[in-house]
Structure 1
Amino acid sequence: MKLARIGPAGHERPVLLDPRGRLRGLDDVIGDLNAAAISQEGLSRLTKLDPELLPIIDPDGVRFGPPVADIGKIVCIGLNYTDHAAEVGLPVPTEPTIFLKGCRPTGANDDVRLPRDAIKGAWEVELGIVIGEGGLYIDEADADAHIAGYCLFNDLSERAYQMERGGQWTKGKSFPGFAPTGPWLVTRDEIADPQALAIWLEVNGHRYQEGSTANLVFGVRHVVAYVSQFLALEAGDLIVTGTPAGVGLGQDPPVFLRDGDTIRLGIDGLGEQRQQVFAWKD
């Protein structure tokens, strides 16, 4: 299934996409796409629905919000593509690099506002893993049972905050609006192999990132199991798995986001995003 939440920020309603790509309302079935709805039991209930019996929603002007309500932790895996590590001149990690992103998810196509005096705004297209069943010390062989599905994610950052202001990466990753998520949650059964997906990103029509999740250093199951050794995963948590080569920092000369830029990104089967970038205004 492809599940989504549409409507104004803070007032989204749950929908699914039927086999022909039409939006079908879930208001009369569930209150929202929350932790209960994306659990194994909740998703099993949704799979039994006949989409043809659900009301069609006019897609004109629809805003896609974050596909899961009240997403909990955003856990990020750094340097998790072999080609990305090479372009920034850093060694491939021997264990996953974990950091947290301290902002709330936003809609897939919501505007992005850079921080005040931003000088090194950056993009990163990423595959997101949505946790449906929580756990601690999850075995890698059991990881699939804890995954509700996958989504597209843009891990935006201000590199000067991240790399030149001391402390941890979280400082540069957590400005409001730096977590566009969705448009859809695509359930696990629809993605035959999450490590065989084309992944790309463009800025102002120029394609900077074009790769494949096949280049992940640490795969989806390994990442879920690994993170659960250090953090108790909960339904609704989001693990974003790193970005392929083509980040602005890796260009010669480096390229950073500016007022008026347009970002487009996508992953096969998970949809696309489009964001307009604006400078901070007091």
Structure 2
Amino acid sequence: MSVPISPVQLLLAALLMLISVLLSWRLRLNLGRDIVVASVRMTVQLLLVGLILGWVFALRHPLPVVAIGLVMTALAGQAAVGRSSRRYPGVYLDSFLAVFGSSFLLTGLALSGILQVRPWFEAQYAVPILGMVLGNSLTGVSLSLDRFTSDVVTRRGEIEALLSMGATRWEAAHEAITAAVRTGMIPVLNSMAVMGIVSLPGMMTGQILAGVSPNTAVRYQIVIMFVLSASSALGSLTVTLLAFRALFDPRDRLRAERLMGKERS
């Protein structure tokens, strides 16, 4: 059985944020307002999610569950672009497609093929797993998109020189593509490398606190980490290839003029 948490206990936990506020004030970091706003926003959002999930878990039809997943995906795709320093026309659609393709595909495989949840749209499993996969895909897509667009700008001279000497657009952009995909995959690989030794993942910890046996919790976490790794790789590759298609035309020309800074988009 999990230990219940009262409103007073939540308030005591919230007081821990005073440490961050005091550090910001003492070191003149100018983060006090941001810390307070982020804390309040996080608390309100999670409390609302707790109320909504009670209704969601009672659903017995796939359409509402899929609709909720699409809303979550759209927000994740928008957030991924928001973290990138450069954008181009159609970047929001590309980000959505990358997040959607990687998250829905891997979540579907996890639910139907690995965990064998019946029915597959059981909200108690589908929504939390999709949420974890979306958060991971968002990070990979964001990092890959930012790295690729930045490399196109910083290495523009090199890329255009290769193109002028007869290289195809793929040959000219190959190093930038591989660097972007690698960057998007690094966070989840780093997490996997130290998991169980340096850190205990949140899902496993939550299950143990809820009374699930450690052996079962560990197995769930292993499955989820493999799913997250695959979604990160697929999302990173997809968004990089879509950005490549947008910034290099079929006539093997770099269209760097399509890129714009965040402040101009």
Larger relative helix fraction: 2
Structure 2 length-normalised TM: 0.29
Normalised TM-score (structure 1): 0.27
User: Which of these two proteins has the greater Rg computed from alpha carbons?
Assistant: 2
* Bigger strand fraction: 1
